[in-house]
Structure 1
């Protein structure tokens, strides 16, 4: 290793881990400081009696460019979701999906009452168009809201309300479809060319696999950083570390003096796991509730995803609901029975994720390495710099590391 410079990374989420891996590959050894007792950042999974409970429903899109570079889907032993969903609306159940990837979706999609045949043709044409559109062109396009984008493309109100709104509300964590059209095109393209997946060990396995590429002495857990000034890192216990270069893959405003405090807006979600006697759908697939008055956005059966898992239903609620856990569970039980005719028991777990996704008005694909430098010694990473995705988090960690490498080797940023 090239040890002439001391490098620290603050935060052991996927962005910080990607930075450490990138430095390792270039022959530089960095120490990762993580305030909690585990890696993953916002990727969290609880294991209870052999059962898996992710903190919020998150999937790994196998088509993310960062996946091939930093992860092994084979070693993660991922389950791939079917390329479609069941949509529940006014007592009716419809199956809608991408027949180009799974021909079993063809007739159910054509015959479903979700949108007109014209709408379904437009979905196909949009898929074909975005498969051919480069990521560079997607993120260089003028931005509008997803709602306006869909309207301008000619989709009917019916398919927007019954499919696009519930489906993308679960991804963007907002039901108004106010998210940037760039993000819509990016996610649509990712779904069109690859599957949504979940690792066998839960979503936190993504970060755990990345951390396996680091040596034991590169990762310091329970290391809370109080302040970063120049080449000095002060920990919560007032001890200090000297650092030639520091990459902050966390909220920099909380630890760098004279920066605005962490005023980033965050999108919220609540994830509730229920016991159930329902056998499930018989395949890993998402259920959507199209009723805008319903708190339920999406749900899936854990035993459809994980072989041997107990019969458990995962339900996602987007945004604020103002209910305590008992009130929320009662409301969701009523909605599940009314909207989808599923009976559930008591909740096993309730997770309130207050910082699920950064709420960004404008998005970019990833930060150029030249734009990650904050000061002479400090560099920034994280998805908050670009867009709320695992792909952006990983690539921004890589970019910050590349900037440090360039500074060391060339004396200037690339």
Structure 2
């Protein structure tokens, strides 16, 4: 490291991409300064504590089949708790269980009887699964591409199956009701759900970020440091302070990155709203996702995180998470009331006793990924300047981690080529 520099590398943003990139850089022997504008790490993958409850900043899960996540994270230390593979679908005023018959064969009869698509639709799911399991993940992203909705129709799924199951399920994944997301992304996600579990860490999704932060050397992380400008030799904070380095990695979300990097096109993004309620008892007993197959009311999907991982709620209480796609115009109080009205139809009078804990509105929750969207975008943005995040890869935890690795590898290669002293250790 140049003696006048603050670090070999400055990483801007302590979300998953920034944390993972910083850890990789340190492990290569480089000194790192990780700057975060907020008061803690995690970005969109962060959990808050309120009255003994763990509130993830928006409903999200870790798909355990993600290859990069398997290589990067310590699953055992995260103490993962898994969902039942499938969903309870609200149709015609009742709940109907639709689960993966290959992993839960005892549920096959109930799944076939459920008024969620025809018998033929259920077998089309099996054909789709066989298709997405063929070949490598890279080959999925080389296949002919269309929108998700067109891919479902081309696969022969009935309108009933699409509207009652596929649309609410995939809307909760892609955060858009039109299913205009690339069919390649759909096949990738379908394969990940089929190959592994959807899981929550015992201490919340923020535990993933905390685990990565715990791998950094003392003093490498600086919170409350908002970056106003960047170049290949350092950054300027909003306070006016100049920090220098041999390389700078911008690891913020795509919208923030576009504000820092001239020429980086701001990606379109999807928004989501998540409401949390406290209850004395759970509205459902099982660790399973609940889908709105009726197209009635604001809630697209619901779950009880404390039925998945008990530490999400204090003893004797339950935590309910309700997801609304987008960012509704009505205020938080009005939205919470609308959600209560819908859920009272689902679960009855008990909903009146639920206590509204908090509403999260995540404006830029996911980058949009329509057909034609380049997946593995470049991570070098100029001499000494790099960028990573889920807007450079698949819009997912996996994409964040992959882009972080790619950026770290590029930095390491370039700095070693320049024979930086710290890089030769």
What is the TM-score with the length of structure 1 in the denominator? 0.93
Asked if 1 retains the 8 angstrom alpha-carbon contact of 2:246 and 2:415, the reply is no
Q: Which moved more, 1:304-313 or 1:80-89?
A: 304-313
Specify the alignment match of 2:362 in structure 1: 353
Aligned twin of 1:255: 260
Counterpart selection for 1:85 from 80, 84, 87: 87
Shift of 1:277: 4.2
> What does residue 185 of structure 1 align with?
187
Counterpart-to-counterpart distance in 1, 2:130 and 2:250: 39
Query: Which residue does the alignment assign to 1:155?
Result: 157
Whether 1:383 aligns to 2:383 is no
Are residues 1:394 and 2:397 paired?
Answer: no
Q: 2:283 touches 2:347 (CA, 8 Å); kept in 1? A: no
- After TM superposition, the structure 1 stretch with the greater mean CA deviation from structure 2, 344-353 or 36-45, is 344-353
- The answer for the alignment partner of 2:36 in structure 1 is 34
CA deviation profile, 1:57-88 (whole Å, cap 9, x unmatched): 01011011111111011101111011010000
Q: 1:279 to 1:220 in 2, by over 3 A?
A: closer
The one of 272, 275, 279 aligned to 1:276: 279
1:250-309 CA-partner distances (Å, limit 9, x unpaired): 2332223x435x733221111111233443432210001112232110001133123262
| Unaligned segments of structure 1, at least 5 residues | none
Q: 1:79 to 1:363 in 2, by over 3 A?
A: farther
Distance 2:306 2:243 in 1: 47
- Alignment length (residue pairs): 407
Aligned counterpart, 2:203: 201
For residue 379 of structure 2, what is the aligned residue in structure 1? Answer: 372
Which structure 2 residue ranges, 5 or more long, are not aligned?
A: 420-425
1:322-337 correspondence to structure 2 within 5 Å: 322-337=329-344
1:91–1:340 contact (8 Å) kept in structure 2: no
The TM-score with structure 2 as length reference comes to: 0.91
2:91–2:164 Cα contact (<8 Å) kept: yes
Distance in 1, matches of 2:208 and 2:223, equals 18
Aligned residue number for residue 101 of structure 2: 99
Aligned counterpart, 2:212:
210
Question: 1:403: which partner in 2?
Answer: 410
- On the 8 A contact 2:171/2:177 being kept in 1, the answer is yes
User: What is the DSSP-based 3-state SS (H/G/I as helix, E as strand, rest coil) of the residue aligned with 1:182?
Assistant: helix
Q: Give the secondary structure class of the aligned counterpart of 1:374.
A: strand
**Residues 1:209 and 1:399: Cα distance change in structure 2 (over 3 Å):** same
Report whether the alignment pairs 1:8 with 2:17: no
Q: RMSD value over aligned CA atoms?
A: 2.1
Q: How far off its partner does 1:363 sit? A: 4.2
Tell me if structure 1 keeps the 8 A contact 2:327–2:361: no
Distance in 2, Cα, partners of 1:67 & 1:10:
21
- Cα separation, 1, equivalents of 2:113 and 2:207: 39
Q: 1:100-119 to 2 correspondence within 5 Å? A: 100-119=102-121
Contact 1:280 1:304 in 2 (8 A): no
Task: Render the CA deviation track for 1:32-71: whole Å, top value 9, x for unaligned.
Answer: 1111111101112111232111111010110111111110
**What is the CA-CA distance between 1:98 and the residue it aligns to?**
0.6
SS of aligned partner of 2:310 = coil
Stretches of 4+ aligned residues off by more than 6 angstroms: 1-5
1:133 equivalent in structure 2: 135
Within the candidate set 143, 152, 159, 2:145 is matched to 143
Which residue number in structure 2 is paired with residue 313 of structure 1? Answer: 320
C-alpha change, 1:216 and 1:107, in structure 2 (3 Å) is: same
Deviations 1:344-372 (A, max 9, x none): 223111111111111232445544xxx31
The whole-number CA distance in structure 1 between the counterparts of 2:78 and 2:364 is: 25
Asked if structure 2 preserves the Cα contact closer than 8 Å seen for 1:146 and 1:179, the reply is yes
Separation of aligned partners in 2, 1:2 and 1:66 = 33
Which whole-Å deviations, capped at 9, do the CAs of 1:80-116 have from their partners, x for residues lacking one? Answer: 0110100001212110011111223212111211111
